[in-house]
């Protein structure tokens, strides 16, 4: 039972345009949501997070939006750059247990074309 | 300087063998994790240690045994390897386990690609 889902395995955008990556979750008991970015042959690296009590968090070119009623979050990258080409993982931290455990989606491969 | 390192990077072995993957972090973190990325690309938590104490033990076969000799190391031993164990295994660490209302970034190692033949 996958609690965090990224239904688009891939996305291709032109350099300078907006990239929108989507993520859905099924469990309302998540405390934090995060986006991780992964290049080939490397481990995931943290990109941006959002608390479940907020609906938006912005960091430079990256903005994460949280829609709790729809159980949906999205990552916006504006403007997209070729160096943003990577796999993006959505992840969530359960409220119960306080273990720091991350529950990941299956990732979306973003390709930014020059 | 490598923050979270894993050895080996690649591991190819036969079914039934026993193998270990080592993980070390030089960030001074208290908590370490093992994740498995399967063929469908899902990253799933396996274990977590906080100050050498096991705090997460997901539904993982008992052929997998984590060992934490000190806060900076979390090794993964796998006995009687099976074909289905083929995956990429990631080690991670964080300052401390995230408590309610906070998030402590997890830093990941580069992964170990295990292939069981």
Nearest chain B residue to A101, by CA: B45
Q: Compute the average pLDDT of residues B19-43.
A: 92
Would you call A98 and B99 a contact, using CB atoms and an 8 Å cutoff? yes
d(CA A96, CA A81): 37
B85-106 pLDDT tens trace: 999 999 999 987 666 666 778 9
Q: Across chain A, where does the E strand assignment appear?
A: 4-5, 10-14, 19-25, 30-38, 45-51, 56-59, 62-67, 72-77, 86-94, 103-104, 108-113
pLDDT band, residue A43 (cuts 50/70/90): very high
pLDDT band, residue B60 (cuts 50/70/90): confident
Would you call B98 and A42 a contact, using CB atoms and an 8 Å cutoff? no
Would you call B55 and A32 a contact, using CB atoms and an 8 Å cutoff? no
Establish if B105 touches chain A: CB-CB under 8 angstroms.
yes
Count of CB pairs separated by less than 8 Å, A with B: 75
Establish if B90 touches chain A: CB-CB under 8 angstroms.
yes
Establish if B66 touches chain A: CB-CB under 8 angstroms.
no
């Amino acid at each position: 039972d996958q609690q965090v889902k990224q239904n688009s395995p891939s996305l291709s955008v032109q350099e300078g345009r907006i990239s929108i990556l989507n993520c859905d979750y099924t469990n309302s008991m998540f405390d934090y949501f995060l986006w991780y970015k992964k290049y080939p042959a490397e481990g995931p690296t943290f990109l941006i997070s959002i608390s479940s009590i907020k609906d938006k968090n912005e960091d430079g070119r990256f903005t994460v939006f949280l829609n709790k009623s729809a159980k949906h979050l999205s990552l916006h990258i504006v403007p997209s750059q070729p160096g943003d080409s990577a796999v993006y993982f959505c992840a969530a931290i359960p409220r119960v247990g306080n273990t720091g455990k991350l529950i990941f989606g299956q990732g979306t491969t973003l390709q930014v074309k020059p | 300087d490598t923050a979270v390192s894993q050895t080996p990077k690649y591991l190819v072995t036969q079914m039934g063998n026993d193998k270990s993957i080592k993980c070390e972090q030089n960030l001074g973190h208290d908590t370490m994790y093992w994740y498995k990325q399967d063929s469908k690309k899902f990253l799933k938590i396996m274990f977590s240690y906080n100050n050498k104490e096991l705090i997460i033990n997901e539904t993982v076969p008992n052929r997998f045994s984590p060992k934490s000799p000190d806060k900076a190391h979390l090794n993964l031993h796998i006995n009687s390897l099976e074909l289905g164990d083929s995956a990429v295994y990631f080690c991670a660490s964080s300052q401390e386990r995230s408590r309610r209302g906070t998030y402590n970034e997890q830093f990941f190692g580069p992964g170990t690609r295990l292939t069981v033949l």
